[in-house]
Amino acid sequence: MKPRLLDLFCGAGGAGMGYHRGGFEVVGVDLNPQPNYPFEFHQIDALAVLDYSNVAATFDVVHASPPCQRYSDLAHRNGNANDWPDLVGPVRDRLITTGLPYIIENVEGAPLHRPVTLCGTMFPGLRVLRHRLFESNVAFTTPAHRPHPLVFTHDKRKAHYGRLDQNTSFVQVTGGGNCSVANARDAMGVDWMTKHELNEAIPPAYTEHIGLQLVDHLEQAAA
The secondary structure element, H or E, covering residue 39 is none
pTM, whole model, 2 decimals?
A: 0.95
pLDDT tens for each residue of 105-142: 999 999 999 999 999 999 999 999 999 999 999 999 99
C-alpha of 67 from chain center: 11
How many Cα atoms occupy the beta-carbon half-sphere of 52 within 13 Å?
Answer: 6
Give the integer Cα–Cα distance in Å for 63 and 4. 11
Amino acid at 12: A
Enumerate domains of the chain plus CATH numbers: 4-142+202-222 (3.40.50.150)
Give the integer Cα–Cα distance in Å for 17 and 113. 25
Determine the average pLDDT of the residues in 15-23.
98
Determine the average pLDDT of the residues in 41-65.
96
Give the integer Cα–Cα distance in Å for 43 and 13. 13
- pLDDT at residue number 80: 67
pLDDT tens for each residue of 149-173: 999 987 778 778 778 888 999 999 9
Does residue 81 surpass a pLDDT of 80?
Answer: no
